[in-house]
Chains A and B, each alone.
Chain A
């Protein structure tokens, strides 16, 4: 059996009869995916208009990974994320208004305008930090999991990272660390195929992400990351195993970055035909097809979209109207010793 077949074994096992309540669940997942898509498009538009100043990394096309994983986490579970983190944060329950305001750099932002898009955090919902350094979020997640276990908590921690991150020493170090102590961590490799402007496969040796994890004894599986049902089901299984003390698991989600690396990147280094083909695999379209299969009336889907679009347009309006942080804020939250009074 070749490696890919082996890895997909778990995925194939998922084909079970759908729970009668699954319609409501998929509507919930769809709502979040749509929220993320609307948020990202609004962010892109406002970056183009100059309202969002810094770099943003759009997650358009990668919504199913975030939603499928985070909707299987509990409120007191934690996540860490990367420079491309909006979808993870929203899926974990971060308020889109405070998050949009953070992208706008306003004082009511999640991080008081100090972090911006790459440093989203909301400790109240277990989002303990996005990270601007590739693969840096994994060790932080491992340490959080280790400490929570020490304190007797049943929380688990999910670390999102990209395919590019798999080539960092920090990723391999942290994978070994998590495995050595059997830490309650879900490592989610969101493989969008591109490490900034470089095709990841062109600079990555060996049979792939899951094989690297398996080499360290970490059970790993690969799923179609644009299939919300697959991500949802496999993530639920893995999270259940982790919570019952099985140690770390790695979930490799195959998806695609439909946008450039940043919103300023037109991605001219790849064929337009490649991107057009990938749009046919849009996870939101696929989820909508699933809802149709489940006989959900189009009106219900439409209503969800309208509600979420309204929420995001309100977030933009609130962010635009909010104030810049007071300049004194630049000198606060640095450290306690010797801090300005």
Chain B
């Protein structure tokens, strides 16, 4: 099977382009998409598909999502660009009360196959209204699928599944991961919803993570490995439905779990995973379930403040070490986004 190396943004753009060629019912609406989108996700697409399918909208998020819902109900597949996930808060009625509820309220008469793309998380001192990771909000709502690819292959595979599916999908695209590179299969396999990825096998402890934090978890595991600690890592990839089977199988072997996510810890998605493991595997666990996640603070502008929110490898190493009753390895270099991208 041949592969190509590409970045996340290239993988996402290529996938959308291929699917739009295959299916004339797919179209894009959002702010500045003809210009290519804030991050180049749509670069050049208007040249191929024209302004009828790559539609620039007014800055009116509620109506953008509302219109997409209506367009989906009559048989098209709108892809909504939200620009920043924070701006989706202006469309919460349309996402929560309309997109997520219509199929149910109308007794299955209408499906809403809308893909709502939300660039998400930290990126270079964007402060409190352009940095949030709101996966827990969306995962809480019956009717929504929530995806969070962390690699180019998953950016391709999950978008492909979303574009061929029947559900409204909240597609969280980590802004700090746009430019990381990785291998992508040339036959563009889809990644089914609800199937996590075993990133690395290990015997001592399981880390469950997603999005940007995956890359810090990998760094932590590599460092811990040098000290003889064997860490297993699962990238959930889909946050709803999440892969309970994979997580429970892993933890039943390693008997320890840390959930790592770069979003607010309190009442976050990690709590759901922790609770599930505690309910199902209480007798198996040899250590309490732990979470490494962001504190419950708005994201500050200054680098020193923003870093207070960031999830980094040293914190993961410290937590894992304490669970295993070993001393943490020495100081660990902090990881700017460029260091993350160097791994792929």
Q: Mark B70-105, 1 if CB is under 8 A from A, else 0.
A: 111111101000000000000001100110001111
The number of residues on chain A lying at the interface, defined by a beta carbon within 8 Å of a beta carbon of chain B, is 48
Contact of A123 with B62 in the complex, beta carbons under 8 Å: no
Give chain B's interface residues, CB within 8 Å of chain A. Answer: 25, 27, 52-53, 55, 57-58, 60, 62-63, 65-76, 78, 93-94, 97-98, 102-111, 142-145, 165-168, 193-194, 238, 240-241
Contact of B110 with A136 in the complex, beta carbons under 8 Å: no
Closest chain B CB from A162 CB (angstroms)? 17
Contact of B110 with A143 in the complex, beta carbons under 8 Å: no
A11 within 8 A of B: no
A177 within 8 A of B: yes
Contact of A121 with B145 in the complex, beta carbons under 8 Å: no
Partner among B27, B62, B103 whose Cβ is within 8 Å of the Cβ of A170 = B62
CA distance A138 to B144 in the complex (A): 22
Instruction: For the complex of A and B, list the 4 residue pairs with the smallest distance between their C-beta atoms, beginning with the closest.
Output: A139-B66, A338-B241, A143-B67, A143-B70
Contact of B60 with A336 in the complex, beta carbons under 8 Å: no
Closest chain A CB from B195 CB (angstroms)? 10
CA distance A333 to B94 in the complex (A): 18
Contact of A121 with B106 in the complex, beta carbons under 8 Å: yes
Contacts A150-B52, A338-B241; is A114 near B104 (CB within 8 Å)? yes
6 A–B contacts from the bound complex (CB under 8 Å):
A111-B107, A123-B73, A129-B106, A140-B67, A335-B145, A337-B241
Contacts A140-B66, A140-B73, A335-B144; is A121 near B110 (CB within 8 Å)? yes
Contact of A143 with B142 in the complex, beta carbons under 8 Å: no
Contact of A335 with B103 in the complex, beta carbons under 8 Å: yes
**What residues of chain B lie closer than 8 Å to A112, measured between beta carbons?**
107-108
Closest Cβ neighbor of A107 among chain B residues: B107
Contact of B60 with A173 in the complex, beta carbons under 8 Å: yes
Contact of A115 with B66 in the complex, beta carbons under 8 Å: no
Contacts A129-B110, A173-B60, A336-B166; is A136 near B67 (CB within 8 Å)? no
Q: Mark A124-151, 1 if CB is under 8 A from B, else 0.
A: 0000110111001011111111111011
Which residues in window 76-97 of A have CB below 8 A to B? 78, 80
Contact of B94 with A146 in the complex, beta carbons under 8 Å: no
**What residues of chain A lie closer than 8 Å to B27, measured between beta carbons?**
147, 150
CA distance A281 to B131 in the complex (A): 57
CA distance A140 to B97 in the complex (A): 12
Partner among B63, B74, B76, B241 whose Cβ is within 8 Å of the Cβ of A139 = B63
Known: A114-B104, A333-B103. 20 other contacts (CB 8 A): A119-B105, A121-B110, A123-B109, A136-B66, A136-B97, A136-B98, A139-B65, A139-B67, A142-B66, A142-B67, A144-B74, A146-B70, A150-B27, A157-B70, A176-B60, A177-B60, A177-B63, A177-B67, A335-B166, A338-B145
Partner among B78, B109, B111 whose Cβ is within 8 Å of the Cβ of A111 = B109
Contacts A133-B97, A143-B78, A334-B142; is A170 near B107 (CB within 8 Å)? no
Contact of B167 with A336 in the complex, beta carbons under 8 Å: yes
